[in-house]
Structure 1
Amino acid sequence: MAGQNLISLDDALNHLLDRATPVTRAEAVNLTECLGRILAENHYVPADVPPADNSAVDGYAVYHSDVRDGEALTVSDRVPAGTAPAPLQPGTAVRIFTGSEIPEGADAVVMQERVERTGDSIVINATVSSGQNIRQRGQDLTKGALALARGTRIRPQEMGLLASTGINRVPVLAKLKVAILTTGDELVDPGQPLAPGQIYNTNRYTLLGLLAEAGCDVTLCESLEDTRDATRQTLARAAAEADLIITSGGVSVGEEDHVRAALEESGKLSLWRLAIKPGKPLAFGEVAGTPVIGLPGNPASVLVTFMVVALPYIRKRQGRSDVALTGERLPAAFEITETSVRREFVRARKENAGSEVQVAAFPNQSSGVMSSACWASGLAIVPENTQVARGDLVTFYSFNELLS
């Protein structure tokens, strides 16, 4: 616990992650459609990769003992890539190309730059050893080996590896179905004129982008009317459609903040008010068995709390195994003179200062200033009860790492 009736971030994350049950639904998708998906089962290599010894260079395949200084070898064959070679005739060489299968009887490939050719004869001007310039069968992957573990998030390199094993249908976990509910009668969709007292609905589009980056399916995206009944009814409808409900706003202590109250009345509220900045009024609970993460209403708070609190929970629900963050320790180009019981996430970016890389903070850290997040490239962490002087080392997490 963090004091002031606030829950520490570490306790809050433990609470959420203890209740984050990974999805078990699986489906098979085409290899071309598996980018960003989570592998649903271990993938074992069905056959050696490569399936046969092949040449690493353009040149000539030989048996190394046949090569003698100044003596010519007859070129007895030519093996383009993709063709099955005949066995090497003893005492001869075979013209070969990168990726071509090595003929039986050959045990080395000489680069063409080390060869003088006259008609059908060559003279090799290099020392030749067995295995030279040959990619061995199974050099990359051997049959039966574990290539990729369940829970792996598939990147382009994993797509390539799967392709190298001949797989065209990939078993992946089903995408997490998420409902987005934004609160506030003052919110208007972009493209509409603003009446007095109205503002544009920033959070809906921030959350749509964040959830798309996280590989989730948004099954419902609505605005909540600022009434208790409407809030309860929409939460119940969302619970029937989604694996997770994410709300923005309505979790503070105002008379028009109905999400927290609706959770307490018709669901369950198990966590509220975190010792973080920005984002103190964050809630977690459930409606009809469907988890609800209630984010604050201010735009920058939504971004930060999604990355710091909601995203670790989502990753575990997705069944991912690669969720650890490393960050960087870099000198601060800013200062924090007042301590707080709240852990602060400073919108910041790396900047060069001579030969040193420092972390600079956006001048205005107000939770309503979304431009700070566009200027920044990540978040610098100021621990609880900590002052920061210029030059002190701080932990910096890039947005790329947080969202990967």
Structure 2
Amino acid sequence: MLEFDEAQARMASAGTPPNITEVCPIRKARGRVLAQTLFASLDLPPADNSAMDGYAIRLADYEQGKPLPVQQRCFAGVRPEPLQPGQCIRLFTGSLIPEGADTVVMQEDGAETEEGFTISVPPVLGTHIRRQGEDIATDAQLFAKGTLLGPAEIALLASQGYAEVHVYPTLRVGILTTGDELILPGQERSDENIYNSNGPMLTAMAENLGVEVVHALHALDTAESLDNALSTLLNDCDVVLTVGGVSVGEKDLVKPAIEQAGGKLDLWRVLMKPGKPVALAHIGSKPIVCLPGNPVSAFAVFTLLVTPLIRTMQGRATVIPDVQFGKIMADRPFEEKREEFLRVHAEFVADDQPRLRPYFQQGSGIISSLPWASGFARIPAGTRVEDGTTVRYYDLKHWLS
């Protein structure tokens, strides 16, 4: 039996990081991985500006009850005049701070009349001014090579004037499900058939990581069908995922199909539950990962073992996300010979670890547990875990993104 952590490390190193790059417009960069380290080209804000709708004053000009004549009304995007002594300039959020001004008074802290702006709340020097460079200083590192770009990263890059960035190519993934008993959702079903949930599930999981699922094929349990499907996937994809068909049954034909295509299958028995049988092969530089056929097992193996491989091949700097901790909240103890990954829902409480409540059924065919679960709680092999025990928690928000 292969220890889970060793299997995860082997899978993470089973692929090769990309060595080519392409230019991507910033508006299309969500989900792409940076192929260069980027630095700030300007201060942010680029100049002192007002954080409020209000009035720019010289604090020394303030006298209780004395109106300050309004010298100018200056909107954002307009350069203000230098502030004259004894006067004020009407500003709006984002307006530049006039030369000579040292304080902004919120419009709510006074009233404007024909005579000027009368301040009702004594101002404090320097308030409501966003200082040049207080957010980002010129030449500061924005993001390191290998950063996954999301809306927040794109916002910061756009604020620095980046119209395009160098990224790694989108990873192309192929999915192959097998089995004569499977039919597509929407087809007419007989008692001997079940709907193929693994294909759509793995497609969605892979696409959530920012890859392109080029093909999601299904092969019948014949050598010809498998050979044709595998040939198509290897021709068009960077990594191939298969589901089921790698055991030793009469119709488990994935292994010979991979060998026929020039690969050598390394079958692992991983010390994990669900998901013990996992296989890895390479044809040329392309990895082929064979997942177990039960949907929950396939979901767990993809989440915990395959996503590190995908992140490596995407060129990401972070391949294995951080693991959190939480307290198991259960009405029975758990103790297994293998590492058990319970489907749990995390309940967050103030000033304490999240409480992890297991789904009431933990069988590998219980698909209803998947949309309910927020993550996996890891129960160490050979360890008795009871209510309130602290265990590792694998949050799906981090592992499937």
Q: Would the TM-score normalized by the shorter structure come out above 0.5? A: yes
Q: Distance in 1 between matches of 2:193 and 2:276?
A: 24
**Greater mean alpha carbon deviation, residues 21-30 or residues 96-105:** 21-30
Alignment of 1:5-404 (within 5 A): 6-264=1-259, 266-322=262-318, 323-340=320-337, 342-350=338-346, 358-404=355-401
Structure 1 length as normaliser, TM-score?
Answer: 0.91
CA displacement at 1:91 relative to structure 2: 2.6
3-state DSSP of counterpart to 2:288? strand
Conserved? CA contact 1:347–1:376, under 8 Å? yes
**Greater mean alpha carbon deviation, residues 30-39 or residues 81-90:** 30-39
CA displacement at 1:129 relative to structure 2: 4.6
Q: Which runs of 5+ in 1 are unaligned?
A: 1-5
Q: Distance in 1 between matches of 2:216 and 2:17?
A: 23
Q: Distance in 2 between matches of 1:389 and 1:145?
A: 48
Q: Which runs of 5+ in 2 are unaligned?
A: none
Quote the sequence identity (%): 40
CA displacement at 1:73 relative to structure 2: 2.4
CA displacement at 1:54 relative to structure 2: 0.5
Q: Distance in 2 between matches of 1:205 and 1:42?
A: 35
CA displacement at 1:336 relative to structure 2: 4.0
Conserved? CA contact 2:109–2:121, under 8 Å? yes
The one-letter amino acid paired with 2:145 is: R
Superposition RMSD in Å: 2.3
Report the CA distance shift for 1:308/1:352 in structure 2 as closer, same or farther (over 3 A).
closer
CA displacement at 1:166 relative to structure 2: 2.1
Q: Distance in 1 between matches of 2:326 and 2:125?
A: 48
Report the CA distance shift for 1:8/1:123 in structure 2 as closer, same or farther (over 3 A).
same
Q: Distance in 2 between matches of 1:141 and 1:387?
A: 50
Q: How many residues align?
A: 397
Q: Distance in 2 between matches of 1:119 and 1:352?
A: 55
CA displacement at 1:28 relative to structure 2: 2.7
Structure 2 length as normaliser, TM-score?
Answer: 0.91
3-state DSSP of counterpart to 1:282? strand
Conserved? CA contact 1:248–1:295, under 8 Å? yes
CA displacement at 1:275 relative to structure 2: 1.3
Q: Distance in 2 between matches of 1:334 and 1:97?
A: 59
Report the CA distance shift for 1:137/1:337 in structure 2 as closer, same or farther (over 3 A).
closer
Q: Distance in 1 between matches of 2:308 and 2:348?
A: 31
Conserved? CA contact 1:24–1:174, under 8 Å? no
Conserved? CA contact 1:251–1:259, under 8 Å? yes
Corresponding residue of 1:3: none
Q: Distance in 2 between matches of 1:179 and 1:198?
A: 24
